[in-house]
């Protein structure tokens, strides 16, 4: 690979998510050369993907070009490259355009979808982990309403207007709420000749309650909010199969739907070359409290399963964890370069939150738990502040404000990929 | 098709471009039922497509959802449908979801690309007539710079950084100027480790001068502006072939490039069922000065070739012509419904304009011809006013203003279509 060889240790970071980008921005490049690798040329603000899917935000509001964030950093290189495998013996990375040697390797490649080996679900469901997936869901949803208008077959129309969301974690809950608001307030204006009451949103969860990672109180509130918006909730229910528009579940209840959204499982993703003994629960790489796999390799964010007495269960797959780990590793590497001592990672739990709809959110931070309007404003404020880039913050803020007063968010364009007639 | 039968004449409009949308908005639906059909759910502001391609504007700034524009109109239906053919004997339209009868048919389906039967060019070139094509060009261009960084092969790198634009009409000229500004001012910040001087922009034109539809003076000025920005211009040159990244021309000069943009020819597009004797130059349907093909059929905009003494050459394929014709036909149909007399179409020539870059534009309106900064501001003002939707106007205005002061337009995201692993 085409990176200048200079007389500084080379840190190669795989992944420009919350962890990788934070590290890249905070590393001191007086002491290091930094190479950041990603398969996209932009950073995705994943917590708001569901708003792109529900046509509330445009993709450019929650994506930020990596080159722009790194513009002012010296000794820093971004490469749009796919990593194939790594060889920790020779400290070499193999990519689709050749090899790259490293002094330090940082694996921050995040998590992908986990379909638990169910191939028919993998084939037919729409996942929600990337911008293109979110856009695909949006286009499919809007096309389905157009198609529903064009059919006289009532069963077919119901299938087109039924949405099944599998997984009631934050993503599933937030998407269910957003779809319900779309149905209740926005789509009836777009489709006056379609009976939107026929649109059903089913949220299916294997655990006994929604948002099971949060307290019982928050969970109950979220449940109440969802029901208020008209979402049908099925807990302790496993989706067993999804084929020919039929969803079958462990409790005998079946659903006919054209759109099944998979928000039920994620798994760490990383290049080949990691010792399988080092891979733990959720396909995450087991690291020590220095986030270290071996002398030269560190793992951050969703990909890392920290194994220490302090965190017997590891840490949750949250943006907040990833950012703290990115900042931590940058700091330690900077300290090491100055011959200062290395300190173990300490997680500062900032809590969790989820928004269900307008004025409806749940927040837990430390011992403080609150819900409703206040929680909703806190949720908005925190998410605005976390967005990368002044422009994105302004665009999202203006969109949200406009939507709050006008109930009319987004443009709902169906932009499908360009296909050549030939070839 | 699923449209209620009511006791009013049904007008079916094919195409929600400038002509079709104007007609739909101005028709009096007290006297008519209106059905608007398009293969997209949005109206595209084609004059600014080149700014989407050059990453200056996001697609949602120049697209406007059709349902939103028609929200307040009664007896008005939009359908996302592909028209296959028409039968003027029985006044029936055949579509991919069944048939639809009409009392009046308005063909406003616009123009598509014309590759003059050159299949290799059609296969390998990127056209610029739709939003997805513009987005595809943008992604390809940005990917090519990333790829150029990743190769050590100088010839390959030059191919990746060479851009050939065929056709120096407004689209070709505006795109060439935008790419040149991108190279001169913006890309060097994104790609500090790439020598952008290697990026070449070649503009090839068969006519003796650029913007040949405008006056010689404007043409000369545009030529000067393009050269100032560093665009290479080749007039009286025909592109003969484009295969394996090699462009061959009629004058013996060849170009190696990975990206050839086709802005050289358009041709009317319309459903099957039109008498071939009624199809004239540029594959446009020949109509009389009432824009009428037969008793029940009208043709508007790019698809219409008006055949009258007043306009022996027909009318140019311009947004302004299309909008006037849409408004004209709505008015005449409204008059007819009230038993008032029908008047022939009179074209009000508002002139033409093209922008080459910052402070560089040419404008011709009536006898007034001017160029430079003033022309550039006029160009911006007119385009802002023509955009549909308050939101789009604000977004484009803010983008342009920001870019004017900061030389930093757009986010340059490479968002590629989502592809399933399987199926």
Higher pLDDT among residues B189 and A297, named by residue: A297
Q: What's the whole-number mean pLDDT along residues A252-274?
A: 95
Best of A6, A388, A413, A419 to substitute, by most chain B Cβ atoms within 10 angstroms, is A413
Task: Note the pLDDT of residue A403.
Answer: 76
Q: Residues of chain A with pLDDT > 90: what percent?
A: 82
Instruction: Give the span between the Cα atoms of A385 and A199, in whole angstroms.
Output: 34
Please state, rounded to an integer, the average pLDDT across all residues of chain A. Answer: 93
Quick one: which H or E segment has residue A279?
Answer: strand A279-280
pLDDT digit string, tens, across residues B155-175? 999 999 999 999 999 999 999
pLDDT digit string, tens, across residues B119-137? 999 999 999 999 999 999 9
CB B177 within 8 A of CB B355: yes
- Give the strand pairing for B284-287 and B279-280: antiparallel
Closest CA to B239 of B202, B274, B210: B202
- The shortest CB-CB distance from B413 to any of A63, A391, A412 is to A63
Is residue A390 pLDDT above 80, yes or no? no
CB B77 within 8 A of CB B83: no
CB A108 within 8 A of CB A20: yes
Q: Which residues of chain A lie closer than 8 angstroms to B41, CB-CB?
A: 142, 146, 412-414
Quick one: which H or E segment has residue B113?
Answer: strand B111-113
- Class of residue A169 by CB neighbours under 10 A (exposed 0-12, middle 13-18, buried 19+): buried
Indicate the pTM of the whole model.
Answer: 0.91
Residues of chain A with CATH 3.50.50.60: 10-113+267-337
Residue A276, number of CB atoms within 10 A of its CB:
5
Is residue B418 pLDDT above 70, yes or no? no
Q: Locate the DSSP E strands across B300-358.
A: 304-306, 352-357
Best of B418, B422, B423 to substitute, by most chain A Cβ atoms within 10 angstroms, is B418
Task: Note the pLDDT of residue B421.
Answer: 44
Does B10-113+267-337 carry CATH code 3.50.50.60?
yes
pLDDT digit string, tens, across residues A205-260? 999 999 999 999 999 999 999 999 999 999 999 999 999 999 999 999 999 999 99
Q: Which of A122, A123, A133, A174 is catalytic?
A: A174
B62 forms bridges with which residues in the sheet? none
Q: Residues of chain B with pLDDT > 90: what percent?
A: 83
Confidence of residue B111 (pLDDT cuts 50, 70, 90): very high
Is residue A125 pLDDT above 60, yes or no? yes
Task: Note the pLDDT of residue B172.
Answer: 97
CB B113 within 8 A of CB B124: no
Instruction: Give the span between the Cα atoms of B262 and B136, in whole angstroms.
Output: 13
CB A151 to CB B77 under 8 A? no
Is residue A290 pLDDT above 50, yes or no? yes
pLDDT digit string, tens, across residues B15-30? 999 999 999 999 999 9
A308, two tokens: 């220490």
Handedness of CA A147, A153, A158, A160 (dihedral sign): negative
Q: Which residues of chain A lie closer than 8 angstroms to B423, CB-CB?
A: 123
The nearest CA of chain B is from the CA of A308 a distance in Å of: 36
CB B413 to CB A42 under 8 A? yes
CB A1 to CB B413 under 8 A? no
Q: Where is average pLDDT lowest: A278-292, B183-197, B288-302?
A: B183-197
A421, two tokens: 């007639």
Catalytic (active-site) positions of B = 174
Residue B120, number of CB atoms within 10 A of its CB:
14
Instruction: Give the span between the Cα atoms of A265 and A233, in whole angstroms.
Output: 18
Please state, rounded to an integer, the average pLDDT across all residues of chain B. Answer: 93
DSSP symbols for B232-289: EEE-S--EEEEETTEEEETTS-EEE-SEEEE-S-EEE---B---GGGEEGGGEEEE-T
Confidence of residue B398 (pLDDT cuts 50, 70, 90): confident
Is residue B234 pLDDT above 70, yes or no? yes
3-state secondary structure of B339: coil
The reply to whether B412 touches chain A by the CB within 8 Å rule is yes
Instruction: Give the span between the Cα atoms of A313 and A306, in whole angstroms.
Output: 8
Q: What's the whole-number mean pLDDT along residues A391-415?
A: 77
Confidence of residue B422 (pLDDT cuts 50, 70, 90): very low
The reply to whether A385 touches chain B by the CB within 8 Å rule is no
Residues of chain A with CATH 3.50.50.100: 119-264
Handedness of CA B323, B326, B330, B332 (dihedral sign): positive
CB B120 within 8 A of CB B242: yes
Please state, in angstroms and as integers, the Cα–Cα distance from residue A117 to each residue in A109, A144, A221, A266, A314, following that order: 21, 28, 33, 12, 24
CB B221 within 8 A of CB B233: no
Higher pLDDT among residues B85 and B185, named by residue: B85
A132, two tokens: 């293109």
Is residue A389 pLDDT above 90, yes or no? no
Task: Note the pLDDT of residue A413.
Answer: 81
The DSSP output letter for B183 is I
CB A125 within 8 A of CB A261: yes
- The residue to which tokens 């000069």 are assigned: B253
Is residue A79 pLDDT above 90, yes or no? yes
The nearest CA of chain B is from the CA of A418 a distance in Å of: 5
B33 forms bridges with which residues in the sheet? B10
Higher pLDDT among residues A388 and B95, named by residue: B95
- The shortest CB-CB distance from B142 to any of A41, A71, A189 is to A41
Instruction: Give the span between the Cα atoms of A40 and A128, in whole angstroms.
Output: 16
pLDDT digit string, tens, across residues A153-177? 999 999 999 999 999 999 999 999 9
Q: What's the whole-number mean pLDDT along residues A254-275?
A: 96
- Give the strand pairing for B104-107 and B304-306: unpaired
Confidence of residue A407 (pLDDT cuts 50, 70, 90): low
CB B149 to CB A418 under 8 A? no
Is residue A422 pLDDT above 50, yes or no? no
Instruction: Give the span between the Cα atoms of A413 and A410, in whole angstroms.
Output: 9
Handedness of CA A272, A276, A281, A286 (dihedral sign): negative
Q: What's the whole-number mean pLDDT along residues B321-338?
A: 97
- Give the strand pairing for B10-14 and A76-80: unpaired
CB A80 to CB B143 under 8 A? yes
CATH number among 1.20.1560.10, 3.50.50.100, 3.40.30.10, 3.40.50.300, domain B119-264: 3.50.50.100
Chain B (137-166) residues lying within 8 Å, Cβ to Cβ, of chain A: 142-143, 146, 149-152
- Of all residues in chain B, the one with the smallest CA distance to A151 is B2
- The residue to which tokens 């502001």 are assigned: B45
Is residue B7 pLDDT above 50, yes or no? yes
Task: Note the pLDDT of residue B417.
Answer: 63
B98, two tokens: 């069944």
Chain A (187-206) residues lying within 8 Å, Cβ to Cβ, of chain B: 189-193
- Mention every residue, 6+ apart, whose C-beta is less than 8 A from residue B172: B165, B166, B203, B205, B210, B261, B263, B264
Instruction: Give the span between the Cα atoms of B405 and B172, in whole angstroms.
Output: 26
The reply to whether B73 touches chain A by the CB within 8 Å rule is no
pLDDT digit string, tens, across residues B254-311? 999 999 999 998 999 999 999 999 999 999 999 999 999 999 999 999 999 998 888 8
A411, two tokens: 């443009």
Q: What's the whole-number mean pLDDT along residues A260-277?
A: 95
Q: What is the CA radius of gyration of chain B?
A: 22
């Amino acid at each position: 690979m085409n990176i200048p060889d200079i007389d500084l240790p080379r840190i190669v970071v795989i992944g420009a998510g919350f962890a990788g980008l934070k590290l890249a921005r905070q590393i001191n490049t007086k002491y290091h050369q930094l190479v950041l690798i990603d398969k996209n040329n932009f950073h995705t603000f994943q917590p708001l993907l569901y708003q792109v899917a529900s046509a509330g935000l445009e993709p450019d509001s929650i994506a930020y070009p990596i080159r722009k964030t790194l513009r002012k950093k010296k000794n820093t290189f971004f490469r749009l490259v796919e990593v194939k495998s790594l060889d920790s013996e020779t400290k070499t990375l193999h990519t689709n355009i050749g090899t790259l040697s490293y002094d330090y390797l940082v694996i921050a490649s995040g998590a992908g979808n986990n379909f638990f080996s169910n191939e028919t679900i993998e084939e037919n469901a729409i996942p929600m982990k990337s911008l293109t997936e979110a856009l695909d869901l949006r286009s499919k949803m809007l096309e389905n309403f157009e198609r529903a208008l064009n059919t006289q077959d009532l069963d077919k129309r119901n299938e087109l207007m039924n949405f099944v969301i599998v997984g009631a974690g934050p993503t599933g809950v937030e998407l269910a709420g957003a779809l319900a608001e779309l149905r209740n307030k926005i789509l009836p204006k777009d489709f006056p000749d379609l009976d939107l009451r026929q649109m059903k949103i089913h949220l299916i969860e294997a655990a006994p309650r929604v948002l099971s990672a949060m307290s019982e109180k928050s969970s109950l509130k979220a449940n109440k909010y969802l029901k208020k918006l008209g979402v049908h909730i099925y807990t302790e229910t496993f989706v067993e199969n999804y084929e020919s528009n039929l969803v079958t579940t462990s409790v005998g209840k079946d659903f006919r739907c054209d759109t099944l959204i998979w928000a039920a499982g994620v798994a760490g993703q990383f290049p080949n070359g990691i010792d399988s003994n080092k891979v733990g629960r959720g396909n995450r790489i087991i690291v020590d409290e220095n986030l270290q796999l071996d002398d030269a390799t560190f793992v951050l964010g969703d990909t890392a399963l920290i194994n220490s007495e302090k965190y017997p269960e590891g840490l949750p797959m949250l943006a907040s964890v990833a950012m703290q780990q990115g900042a931590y590793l940058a700091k330690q590497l900077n300290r090491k370069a100055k011959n200062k001592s290395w300190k173990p990672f300490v997680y500062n739990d900032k809590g969790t939150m989820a928004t269900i709809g307008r004025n409806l959110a749940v927040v837990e931070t430390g011992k403080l738990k609150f819900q409703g309007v206040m929680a909703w404003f806190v949720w908005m404020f925190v998410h605005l502040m976390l967005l990368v880039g002044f422009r994105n913050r302004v665009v999202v803020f203006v969109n949200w404000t406009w939507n709050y007063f006008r109930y009319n968010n987004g443009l709902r364009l169906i932009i499908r990929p360009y296909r050549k007639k030939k070839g």
